[in-house]
Chains A and B, each alone.
Chain A
């Protein structure tokens, strides 16, 4: 079946994997930080931050994509600044696709990490403090390792969400083969093309396979991490 894939298919697959990996990994530090803030922080406006993080989950993806275009497009305030200062252009580039995917996956990632942070017993952190660990050391040696299963789960959820991202991506960076055409965008194009059914089916099968492998890998990983965390 792999023989049947055309070079165009491979391009879309490679791009999708790259976009999803970069989106998940690059947003991880922010995900952990925001989850920590929401799980432990006591500050005014906490529910506002919470709502903001969850916004992409409930807004139509096309709205998220359009807002990204307005902000990060060549003429958008942030996009213009990035282009002028660092020469970074996101609109209609694969990096833009990664940004869109990261933002769409962010609520899922933060949720999973926050749940596992909530499950970490603060009494263990107190014990670490009495043994001489400062806040940073407690976070690195107690909180983070114990929350690892949830962090891995969040990473995989974000990756999976990124693979499926379509609406925000196509609105923000378009559907350019080789640059921004991920698997969903390619399937969309194939379906729009007369006689493209077979091509669409091929990529559909690939999508199902990738999702399946990702889910099994995540399950195995978090189960192993959970075993380690409780010391079995």
Chain B
């Protein structure tokens, strides 16, 4: 399943011109507010019409200006989870969930209700009304409702933006489950890089209505030249590691990574499970040679692949660490003192407490 987008749309002063392709899995549309993310998903859903271009999901052409194809919203097999939930207030949770199944556009069946309710832990809510749900519960029901309409593609427009940190932490694992347990391609709009790092396979970086970069999450996050486009974007990359052991007493999860072993504050998951860790550039220190007896225990063997342009006293150094990308933000002085150059073997040091706590 692939998603092919090549569209232009003018809205007043704002001009969106986006072209990218994404495979299956989770595609994150990432950028500041006003960068055109929501406009883009509305075009995919059919809620807005491109001025020109094409939109294709797998073999299905949803829009093609040249051929005069514009599939109406209700006939596109595209689910949409809105930022504000948009549950029907006059229907029960169960009736909301089953809403899309009554149109039978893709042979939706009630039988899947139990399966979806279990996936999202919403079975106890079925008899309730949307007005009686918490913000997090509402979003879970909204996700379930979109899933039950049996879409070929699911759009999520900042589904967590209206929630506080605790509610976000409550929902994220469900979206991860959704990604891992259904094989549904997902387009996830966000301006929070921690969400993107945890969820996305492909990252499309938008700024001012244009696609600045598109590709695998680490390739884009690891690029040193993109910080300026993403505003609050805090340079950082994602490491994928396997859980080796849980030390409940010390509150530490031991992880195996191709470039070395890691200890991080306790993460949920059984030994053997794969986890993604977001590492900020400013939390990575570099050593040439054995760093000796210091408190930082997470040490990964790395090779310098790129040294960015100096920004004030700091410079970003891009590293290859066992197949992943890591960015370290160090001072110009350190680069000179250590004699760093492309190809230099280094040890990347990451404080255990720098990893985002388990949530």
Contact = CB atoms under 8 A, between A and B. Distances in A.
A128 B90 contact: no
Contacts of A126: 47, 73, 86
Contacts, number: 76
Interface stretch (B18-26, B99-107, B314-322): B99-107
Range of interface residues on chain B? 20 to 34
Nearest to A148: B90
Contacts of A127: 80, 82, 86, 88
A133 interface: yes
B278 interface: no
A132 B47 contact: no
Given A145-B90, A146-B89, A231-B89, A129 B73 contact: yes
Interface in B144-161: 145-146, 149
B89 A229 contact: yes
Contacts of A145: 90
B344 to A, nearest CB: 52
B321 to A, nearest CB: 41
Nearest to A137: B103
Given A228-B90, A229-B89, A231-B129, A133 B84 contact: no
B100 A124 contact: no
A131 interface: yes
Interface in A73-95: none
A142 interface: yes
Q: Which bracket fits the contact residues of A?
A: 20 to 34
A81 B75 CA distance: 45
B131 A123 contact: no
A48 interface: no
Given A123-B84, A146-B89, A231 B130 contact: yes
Contacts of B100: 131-132
Given A123-B84, A127-B82, A132 B105 contact: yes
Interface of A: 123-124, 126-134, 137, 141-142, 145-146, 228-232
Given A124-B89, A230-B131, 4 more contacts: A131-B149, A132-B103, A230-B90, A232-B131
Interface of B: 45-47, 72-76, 78-80, 82, 84, 86, 88-91, 99-100, 103-106, 108, 129-132, 145-146, 149
